[in-house]
Amino acid sequence: MVRIQDLTRISAYEWEIPKSFRNDMRVPVRIFSTHEMLENSLDDRSLEQAINAATLPGLVGAVTIMPDMHQGYGFPIGGVAATEFPNGVISPRAIGYDINCGVRLLASSIEAEAALPYLEMLSVRLNQLCPSGVGTDGIVNLALPELDHVLKEGSHWAFKNGYANETDLRRTEENGMLTGAKPEKVSDRARKRGKSQLGSLGAGNHFIEVDVVDEIFNEKAASTMGLHTGMLAVQIHCGSRGLGHQICSDYVQEFQTAIQRYGIKVPDRELVCAPMDSPEGVAYLGAMRAAANFAFANRQLLAHAARQAFVDVFAGHFKDWQLHQVYDIAHNMGKLEFHEVEGRRLKVCVHRKGATRAFGPGAPGLPPEYQEIGQPVLVPGSMGTASWVLVGTRTSMLRSFGSSCHGARRVMSRSQAKKEIHGNRLRLELEDRGIHVQAGSMSELAEEAPQAYKDVDMVVETVTKVDIARKVARLMPVVVIKG
């Protein structure tokens, strides 16, 4: 049981659990949080999970926890952990079930005020063109050999097949394709689940949202990204669907025995792992990259469908109805990157579970137009509340392995939300506030109600105070599509 007095206060927004707190910790835990948010975190097991995560072999620096932390499976959501390549471990749960769950942001030059009469029609058209909900097939149904191309090429497969443009690729993390994907390390089960799901949103907390750019905080960065006050933008939040879940489940099951072979002790069986240079570690890394590529292609196909909805609704009414990609970023991912740790430049696997990459200006891998401003960081809020666009900083490279927060923090259980909130009533309340909602299930809508989450604004405030990201723009929703 962790108590607030077990933590060392570094500043009003930064805390540490020292390595000496528990014998099996290999590195300290560094937490970005306010005192109030930290106290709330004591209600679940997120801090205990962070301490458990700090026992993984090969860790360097500190396990870093973002202010939107909450309890996950073995590894806390909002956690970042870097293990040294090649002997350190890779842990599937420190990346997550939904491999490369992430967010894509598209900007437009359509004035929200002028678009008001068309928004309901837009919500219907988006819902028709972007498959969502339980058991729904995707935009394309692939033959298994074609699926292998998606697993290897990600968004580049979408480009070759007419679903993407060059800007989309340039403005996607890793250009929408992780090299080193190994489709042959993906099980038949995972492939079968994936082949019919490409271009689908799924259910749970995934969504497509049309927003208004409500306020700009950094004119230069916003303008570079194509974000202007009062204009419509689109966010797409989803991941690798059943394929990614199956890969994670397969390897967590396999790693239950792998840890015994490598003599690794973990305090929670959800934290099972394997050395990156072991056959099991190499296989998982290859399969995880394949799932990540599937997710990049998935969001790309949904973006293509969203563009079609904009054409169908706005063409002829507005001079420019195009949707331009701002960025696409993962928040469940394991990546091999170079970072400076205690004066040494190390190749590490950065596990980000519910945390986004947040590279600062001049970092490798950013498109030329973002070199000066830093990488866009997309932080969706809970349904009906603000979302944020931030940029990464040079500080994040030094303090959080180039990472930042990923969203709002869940505080109410799904069963409690379902009891307390009526889906239909919530929908009417949102409609009263001018937010058009399309949802496959009213009970799932209730589970994702804004009341179930802590406000994202305080999360954003915290990451800006510790300077791992800076504010660019705030978005407010006008259309929500839920599975």
* Residues forming the active site: 406
Q: Please, what is the minimum distance in Å from the beta carbon of residue 246 to other proteins?
A: 8
Out of 8, 257, 371, 424, the residue judged to bind other proteins by CB under 8 A: 257
* Number of residues forming the site for other proteins (CB under 8 A): 39
Q: Which of 440, 448, 385 is nearest to 417 (CA)?
A: 448
Phi and psi at 56, nearest 5°, equal -65, 135
Kindly identify the residues of this chain, within the stretch 34-53, that bind other proteins according to CB under 8 A. 44
Q: Please, what is the minimum distance in Å from the beta carbon of residue 440 to other proteins?
A: 10
Distance CA 231, CA 310 (A): 14
Is residue 280 a contact residue for other proteins (CB under 8 A)? Answer: no
Residue placing its CB nearer to other proteins in the complex, 76 or 176: 76
Kindly identify the residues of this chain, within the stretch 151-190, that bind other proteins according to CB under 8 A. 189
| Tally of CB atoms within 10 A around 427 | 20
Residue placing its CB nearer to other proteins in the complex, 156 or 351: 351
Q: Please, what is the minimum distance in Å from the beta carbon of residue 69 to other proteins?
A: 11
Q: Please, what is the minimum distance in Å from the beta carbon of residue 107 to other proteins?
A: 30
Q: Please, what is the minimum distance in Å from the beta carbon of residue 394 to other proteins?
A: 33
Residue placing its CB nearer to other proteins in the complex, 202 or 380: 202
Residue placing its CB nearer to other proteins in the complex, 366 or 417: 417
Binding mask 69-108 for other proteins (x = CB under 8 A): -xxxxx--x-------------------xx----------
Is residue 267 a contact residue for other proteins (CB under 8 A)? Answer: no
Q: How many residues does the chain have?
A: 483
Is residue 192 a contact residue for other proteins (CB under 8 A)? Answer: yes
Rg (alpha carbons) of the chain, rounded to whole number: 21
Is residue 223 a contact residue for other proteins (CB under 8 A)? Answer: no
Residue placing its CB nearer to other proteins in the complex, 243 or 472: 243
Kindly identify the residues of this chain, within the stretch 374-413, that bind other proteins according to CB under 8 A. 410-413
Phi and psi at 198, nearest 5°, equal -70, 125
Is residue 373 a contact residue for other proteins (CB under 8 A)? Answer: no
Give the range of 30-38, 388-396, 437-445, 470-478 binding other proteins by CB under 8 A: 437-445
Residue placing its CB nearer to other proteins in the complex, 226 or 354: 354
Is residue 444 a contact residue for other proteins (CB under 8 A)? Answer: yes
| Tally of CB atoms within 10 A around 420 | 12
Q: Report how far Cα 241 is from the mean position of its chain's Cα atoms.
A: 13
Residue placing its CB nearer to other proteins in the complex, 257 or 371: 257
Q: Please, what is the minimum distance in Å from the beta carbon of residue 77 to other proteins?
A: 7
Q: Please, what is the minimum distance in Å from the beta carbon of residue 451 to other proteins?
A: 14
Residue placing its CB nearer to other proteins in the complex, 174 or 448: 448
Is residue 120 a contact residue for other proteins (CB under 8 A)? Answer: no
Is residue 204 a contact residue for other proteins (CB under 8 A)? Answer: yes
Kindly identify the residues of this chain, within the stretch 231-250, that bind other proteins according to CB under 8 A. 242, 245-246, 248-249
With vertex at residue 172, the alpha carbon angle to CA 169 and CA 175, rounded to the nearest 5 degrees, is 55
| Under 8 Å between Cβ of 471 and 225 | no
Residue placing its CB nearer to other proteins in the complex, 302 or 475: 302
Is residue 455 a contact residue for other proteins (CB under 8 A)? Answer: no
Q: Please, what is the minimum distance in Å from the beta carbon of residue 412 to other proteins?
A: 8
Q: Residue numbers of the site for other proteins (CB under 8 A)?
A: 44, 70-74, 77, 97-98, 134-135, 189, 192-193, 202-204, 242, 245-246, 248-249, 252-253, 256-257, 269-270, 410-416, 441, 443-444, 483
